Each structure stands twice: as structure tokens, then as C-alpha cells.
Chains A and B, each alone.
Chain A
Amino acid sequence: MQLSKYVKRTLKAILFVAVFFVMMFVLDAMFEMDEASTEAMLTRYSNTEDIDMVFVGNSAGEMVDDELYSKITGDDAFNMCTPSQGLSVSFKNLQLASSHHKIKKAVLLLTFDVADTESYDGIDHLYDRVVDSSSPFYVRIVNIIKRDVKRSFARDMIGSEKSVNIWIPWENETMHGFDNVKKNLTKRFSRMMRGDRLGSGIAFDLNHEVYDRNPGRWTDEDAAMFEEDAAAIDELPLPEGMLGADKMELLADMCTFCRDNYIDFAVVVTPHRTDYYDRYDEYRANVQTLSGYLDAFVSKRGFMYYNTEDDAKLHTTLPDAYFYDWEHVSDEYKPQATEYLAGVITDLMK
């Protein structure tokens, strides 16, 4: 009698947990995946076989049509730029591509406003899923638990609500409106039916260490060099959110990574409208000075820097009418922007 009571209770507990999980996954399917543009880029990336050159950067960098670029230059280029891509994510993209392909060239398509310094949780989540997606189910589950335990128990996380929510499968997903629920469900369902998983084409021989922010190749010499440069940049009054010492450290890391992996690296300030610098108001002159610092910073590390503003032909080749705002090229003029950048980058990297 007593035993059957315990059995009943245990079964109930198991059923409770099972129902809870089913509900979680149904809800997960109802949500839009976080960073849909990153997901789309990674899916396209996983279906691209030959890549020897990558573009990283934010939405301004989306002006490069990589197929057209490859045709023009003969490189196997892939554009990994996505909206609001911070330098940490750009670095992650570079590392990801480098772990799968023999990357010979990398270009950071830069605007002076770089959204973030710290890696955004949701992006980590997405990358982790890419890394895991072709592993056996049990490996994926173990990895998810390992990662979530690490994040949940992190010193800055453990006392916050986020430490619990990390365990929710749709923690990093959003629902922009109830109208999208049906669309999201259909999308996930059809993907499941096709057996199409995110990143399924990637060869997963990744060494997880490659995802560390600092891969251990940062030498004393680099540090000394960085200190000096960072101090100079930090003293320059700049608008909030612009490249500062903390972000420059990431750029230095990228340079070190490229040097150690024999990747030819260039930083190119993307084409923009004639009134681009007006947006910086009283900081206008400082932003232009920053460009000079950046040049020195990158050149000192043996790589190339180019600000398209320095090109006298920029605004005649890509007139203001091609842009829908200060720095974003309209879709119909992307071929012209690609051709222009192909010329600039080929000259820069020869």
C-alpha cells in the first residue's frame, strides 16, 4: 500500500517533468530564433564548400555581394557580416571560418560605431548550436547541460534571474508579435520534416578552445604595443559607443589571430555618404583623428588599413543616391559597391 503510494508519486513526478519539457519545446518552436540574420548567414555558410576569404563586420558590410566579389577577384569569398555585429562576434566569425577552411584573406568592414564589446549571450548560444548540430543527440544534450551549468553558475550570473532562465530552451529567442507564431511553427516543423538541421553541412572537427576570446597567442610584446596605442585612443574624446581601448583590444586580438594563422588581414572603413561625418557632430574632427590612429594601430601589426573616405573617387563612384542612410547601400546598388570594394581591397592586399 505504502509502496504503491510512492510509485504513484514518482510516476506523477516523472510525468510532470515530461509534460513540462514537451511544453517547453512546443513553445520553443513558436518563437523566432534569436538573431535570425545570423542564423541565415550561418546556414548559408554551412552550405558553402570552398571559402578562402571572409568579410566580417556589421550591417554596413552587407553591401558586399560575395558571389560577385568572387567572380571579380577569383577569391572564394564569403560575407559573414550581420546587423549590429560587434567586434567580439566578428572575431568569432573569423575563428569559426578559420576552423573549417583554410582562410587566406580576411577583411573587417568597419564603421566607427561598433555595437558591443562583450559577446552577446544569444550569439554564443547560436554558435554553440552550430557546433553541436551534427553531433549525436546525447552529446548535444551533455554539451548543453555543461554549457548551461557553466553560464548559470558564473559569478556575475548566479544571483540573477538569468541564472534560472538560461535553462529555458527559448531563453534567447523572441516573439515579435503573436502573428508570427503560426509562421514560426510552420518553419520549424517543415525544417524538422526535411531533417534539415542548422549547420548540418559543417565538418565538426572543431577544437572548442578556438572559441576562447583570447586563444593564448597574446604575447608580452603585443600587450606592450597595445597599452601604448590604447592609451592614445582612450584619451581622444569620442561619442559613446565608438571604438575605445576595450574594443581596440579585440581588434588587436584579431590581428594576432590572423598573424598566427597566416591570414592576410585588412581593415576597411566602408563607403558612406558625403555627410557621413556630420553625424558625429562636435566629435567630427576626433573621429577623423581616430581613423589615423586605427591606420597606425593596424599597420604596426603588419596589416592593412583603408578608409574609403580617403579615396577622392568614392563619392563619384558611389554617389549619395546609392545609400538609403549614412552608411547602408540600397540593395539595387550593391553590385556597384561590391565592384568598388573589390578594386580597393585587391589593391590593398596585393
Chain B
Amino acid sequence: MAFYSVAFFGFVLLFIILHDLVGEISPKNQWIVRLLAGLSFFVFLSGVRIVFVLVSALSVWDGARIIHKYDLKNKEMRKREGLSKDEKKAIKEKGQRAKRTYLLSIAGFNLLLLILVKYYLPVANHPIALPIGISFYTLMAVSYIVDVYGSKYEPEGNFVKVLLYLCWFPQLIQGPINRFDTVKDDLFSHHRLHAPDMRYAFYLFLFGAVKKYAIADLLAPIVNAALNNDSAAYPGSFALFGALMFAVQQYADFSGGIDMSIAVSLLFGVKMNENFRQPYFSTSLAQFWRRWHMTLGSWMRDYVFYPFVTLKPIADLNKAVSKRFGNHAGRSLIGGISNILVFALVGLWHGPEKHFLFWGLYNGIIIAASDALSPAFSKINTLLHIDPDGKGMYVFRIVRTFLIITFAGFFDVIGPVSVGIKCFINTAFHFMPSVGAGMIAQLFADGVTSVPAVVTAAVATVILIINSVSKERGRSPREYVCAQKFYVRWIICFSLIMILLYSFTVSSGIRGFMYAAF
């Protein structure tokens, strides 16, 4: 079911009415409508495979309660009179071991379930249709139980509330990967729909739809023509052009879909976690990953990176290297290994194909290398009298980061890794701009794209850039629009609607959300 469809609009309208109605009659129970919406949406799209989310919810709900009980029991035992310090320590360690075992088995069970349906069965030639949102809600389930284990918050006593957290419908298509503590208040409390919220949600949804349909879907045929299994034979200029288009397409597709999800969720009073913060204004790849798919990045940081670097052998290694080669070496080595591990996992999260793993490693290695070489870069800056905080350097860093991300597109889109590498080589050594320009012109001649489609995508991209620049400067364009006189709002609103509707007439086909496939 597409967000932009009669079925989805009808679904949302029906549940908003019900939500408001129940909110008036029994405010305390309004969250039940949200739960019903989530379950209905799940069943509507995945039918009986709702069992998967029920099992996940049940396992982490029960697991978290047991872990919490262990904690309480352990504390009580340690409070008993007459115990020596060592005895208390022994009790604590025993409790910790039991807790950890339980945590690992529950989290492992959920991750294994994901691995089974997403990776093992397709590889073993027994593919099953993935339950909707499994890649997202599994990570949410794991974060919930790990947070309870870490005493970040107390476990939720009501199973169906945990179920609602996992199957809240706007997040099911492509995230964001919400955290329990950041959404629970909104999910379980009463909310009354206000006109400003509706207006804000409307603009957000509309803007998201423009990104998805007027940019991403119009650029998709160009990307497909430039980045494919035959790309090794293309001149570097054409492959680079495809990768640049992909960078725009991917951002418009993913962030557009997230905008639409967040907008719908807002209508029910649930403010979901932010997933993008103008990533293409990043000055380094590491910063990019703190601004792009932020909820996945922070999940990896909190549940893979930090636990990994605090492992005893890793900490020992850090100490040993630091002692022999200095603090920077120790920190860079451990950070580098952890980053490579994290990005390999991020790559695999996208799918079992080799090119995703390669893409992840590409990101991890660059981040690790840039961290390790940072003192050398500083020395070069000093030697060349470059002001690292100057405007020129700032722009240079943004362009450099954007190009690094663009090159990653070769491995993200193209299946065979060798073809991706060849594109990389061609971009460096066989650029051939005139041949590339001819191939771009041929895209129009062959009907792959058209002038109206490209102009529409360009206009929408300019709007996207203006929006991003304003946000980067600390202004909220949507709040600005909402605060304008009605006729100004209308002009903006109608312009966006027209761009959106016109894009459908020049589009060569509507595509599903990219990240829905992950």
C-alpha cells in the first residue's frame, strides 16, 4: 500500500476519526486506537506474518521483565545484613551473568529470526515474503531489551504497549528506528488534533511526496541506465553522472518517505525520531553518518560500537597499543576496527548481497583511515597555511564528502562488485566527458527520460536545496510557511501540488520506496 493512495488516505482518515472520537470519550484508552491501527496495517500488508512481530514483542516484553526482576532480586540480596564486600560483589556478578545470558538469548533470538527470513531463506532458495518492517522493528525490539538491561528505563508492564511500540504503522514501511523512551509518552498518552498540527503535517507530507515522486522517481530511469551490470563499459563521466543522480535520488526517496511517515504519525500525536539532518552539508563521512539515517546510525553506535569497544580484550588492546605507540594510535586502531565492523553490519543490514558488504566496508575503511590520518592532515594544513576553520575549507570539505558518498553509489547500486570497482577506475582514468555527454543526450533520444521530466526534477531539487540551506542555517522552512498569510501558504501549497501531480504525467513509472526493500 503506497502512502499516496486512496487506501492509505482512507485508512488514516478512518483511524484519525476513531482516534479523536475515543480521545473524547476515554482519553486514557486512546492509545488502543493506535494499536488497532498498527495491527490492522500489519495484517493488511503482511497477513498472517503478523506472528513474527507478535513473537518479537512477546519475547522482548517478557525478557525485559525477567531481566528487571533479576535486577531487583539481586539488589535485595545484596541489601541483606551480614554480607561481606566480597560476597556482595559475588552476588552482583552472578546476577549480571544471569542477566547477560538472558539478554543475549532474547536479543539473539530476534536477530536470528531476522537473519532467517531476510538472509538464510532467500540464500537457501526458500524465500518468503518479508513481514513488513522486520528490519526496522527487530532493531527496535533489541534496543528495548538492551536499554532495560542497561537500566536506562524500567520495562513496560503491558505487553500490548510493547507491541504498539513495535508495530506503530507509520514506521513500518521504512522506519525510522524509534527508541522506546523517546516515543512512549506520545504513543500511550492522549492527544487532541489541532489545526496547526494538521497544517504542519499536511505540508510535511506534501513536501515528502514531492521529493519522492517529483525527484526520486523521475531520476530513477537515468540512474538505472547509467548504473547497471554493463556500467564497466561506460566512460567514467557517464558513470559519475549516474552516481550523482543516484545521490539525489536516494536522498529524495528515503527522506521523502520519512517525511511522509513522520507527518502521518504527527496526526496521531506521535512525534517520531528524526532521521535526516541535511546530510549533504556534512564536512566528513563520519559526520554524514550522524546526519543520514540517524536512527540506524545511533542504533549501531549504542548497541554495536560502544559495547564492542568496551569489551575486555578490546580495551586491553587499546591500552597496549596506546602504551607503545601513543594515545592516538590506540584510539584510532580500536575506533577503526569498530567502525569497520559497524559499517560491515550496516552494509549487511541492507541485504545479503556482496556489494552491500563492500559498500559498508568502503564507508568503514574511509572513516577509519581519516581518523587515523587526522594528525597528518593537520600537519599538512599547517604547512600549507590553510585555515582549517575558514569558509573555503568548509566548502571544500562538504564537496569532498559529497564526492566520497557519490562514489559509494557505485557499490550501492551495481550488483557485481567488480563492475563497481571498474566504474571507480573509469571515473579516475577514463573520464571521456564528450562520450559521456553523448550518452546523456542519448537518454533523451531513447526516451529513457524527457525534457519535461528533467525540468520537473530540477525544479523540485532546487526547492529541496532551498529548504535544506534554510534548515542548515537554523530556520524551519515549514514553520515559516505555516506562519504566513493564507494566500502565501496557498501559493506555496498549490505550487507543490502542481509539481507533484505534473510529475506523475511525465514519469515513466512509479516505484516503491527504496528502503522498504531493506
Interface of A with B (CB < 8 Å)? 12, 16, 19-20, 23, 27, 31, 152-153, 157-165, 168, 170-171, 173-178
**Contact between chains at B6 and A153 (CB < 8 Å):** yes
**A177: B residues at CB distance < 8 A:** 450-452
Contact A164 B451 (CB under 8 A): no
> What's the nearest-Cβ distance from chain B to residue A335, in Å?
34
Chain B residues within 8 Å of A31, by CB: 505
Contacts of A162 in B (CB 8 A): 510
Using a CB-CB cutoff of 8 Å, which residues 1-45 of chain B contact chain A? 1-2, 4-9
Is there a chain A Cβ closer than 8 Å to B504's Cβ?
A: yes
Which of B5, B486, B490, B497 makes the CB contact (< 8 A) with A161? Answer: B5
CB closest residue in chain B, given A152:
B6
Docked-complex contact B6 and A27, CB < 8 angstroms: no
Q: Looking across the interface, which residue of chain B has its beta carbon closest to that of A165?
A: B504
Residues of B within 8 A of A (CB): 1-2, 4-9, 213, 450-452, 455, 486, 490, 494, 497-498, 501-502, 504-506, 510
In the bound assembly, the distance between CA atoms of A162 and B509 in angstroms comes to: 11
Residues of the A chain whose Cβ atoms lie less than 8 Å from the Cβ of B451:
177-178
Q: How many Å from the CB of A308 to the closest CB on chain B?
A: 32
Q: List 5 A-B contacts (CB under 8 A).
A: A16-B490, A157-B6, A159-B7, A168-B504, A178-B455
* Contact residue among B2, B4, B452, B486 (Cβ-Cβ distance under 8 Å from A175): B452
With contacts A160-B510, A161-B213 known, is A175 near B6, CB below 8 A? no
Contacting pair A23 B498 (CB below 8 A): yes
Interface centre among A27, A159, A162, A178 (most CB of B within 10 A): A159
A161 touches B4 (CB 8 A): yes
Cβ of A158 and Cβ of B5 under 8 Å apart?
Answer: yes
Query: B5: which of A23, A164, A175 is its contact (CB, 8 Å)?
Result: A164
Q: Is the CB of B510 within 8 A of A161?
A: yes
Kindly provide the distance from the CB of B466 to the nearest chain A CB, expressed in whole angstroms.
22
Docked CA distance A175–B8 (Å): 29
**Pick from A20, A27, A159: contact of B1, CB under 8 Å:** A159
Given A23-B494, A173-B505, A174-B505, also A160-B5 (CB < 8 A): yes
Report the separation of the CA atoms of residues A204 and B73 in the bound assembly, to the nearest whole angstrom: 85
| Number of interchain pairs (Cβ within 8 Å) | 60
Chain B residues with Cβ below 8 Å from A171 are 504-505
What residues of A have a CB within 8 angstroms of the CB of B4 in the complex?
A: 161, 164
For B450, list chain A residues within 8 Å (CB).
Answer: 176-177
Q: Which residue of A lies closest to B6 (CB)?
A: A163
Q: Is the CB of B452 within 8 A of A163?
A: no
A158 and B6 contacting across the interface, CB-CB below 8 Å: yes
Closest Cβ of chain B to A221, distance in Å, is 41
Q: Which residue of B lies closest to A24 (CB)?
A: B501
Contact B213 A19, beta carbon cutoff 8 Å: no
Known pairs A31-B505, A173-B505; list 6 more (Cβ under 8 Å).
Answer: A153-B6, A157-B6, A159-B1, A170-B505, A177-B452, A178-B455
A249 to B150, CA, bound (A): 67
B505 touches A19 (CB 8 A): no
| Chain B contacts for A161, CB-based, 8 A | 2, 4-5, 213, 504, 510
* Contact call B501/A165, Cβ cutoff below 8 A: yes
B7 pairs with A158, CB closer than 8 A: yes
Cα distance, A177 to B450, chains bound together (Å)? 8
- Determine the residue in chain B with the shortest Cβ distance to A172: B505
A201 vs B410: C-alpha distance in the bound complex, in angstroms? 59
Contact B505 A175 (CB under 8 A): yes
Contacts of A158 in B (CB 8 A): 5-7
Docked Cα-Cα span, A12 to B490, in Å, equals: 11
Q: Identify the closest chain A residue to B486 (Cβ).
A: A12
How far apart sit A164 and B2, CA to CA, in the bound complex (Å)?
A: 11
Report the minimum CB–CB distance from B186 to chain A (whole Å). 27
In order of increasing CB-CB distance, the 7 nearest A-B pairs are A163-B6, A159-B1, A159-B7, A158-B7, A161-B510, A161-B4, A163-B5
Decide: A19 and B7 in contact? CB cutoff 8 A: no
Q: Which residue of the partner chain B has the closest CB to A31?
A: B505
* B501–A20 CB distance below 8 A: no
From A168, which residue of chain B is reached at the shortest CB distance? B501
User: Across the interface, do B5 and A159 meet the contact criterion of CB distance under 8 Å?
Assistant: yes
| Docked complex Cα distance between A160 and B455 (Å) | 25
Residues of B within 8 A of A157 (CB): 6
* Cα separation A31 to B455 with both chains bound (whole Å): 16
Report yes or no: B452 in contact with A178, Cβ–Cβ below 8 A: yes
Chain A residues within 8 Å of B8, by CB: 159
B510 to A, closest residue via Cβ: A161
Of the candidates A152, A159, A168, A174, the one whose C-beta lies within 8 Å of that of B2 is: A159
For A16, the chain B residues whose CB sits under 8 A away are 490
Query: In whole Å, how far is B187's beta carbon from the nearest beta carbon of chain A?
Result: 26
Residues of A contacting B452 in the complex (Cβ-Cβ under 8 angstroms)? 175-178
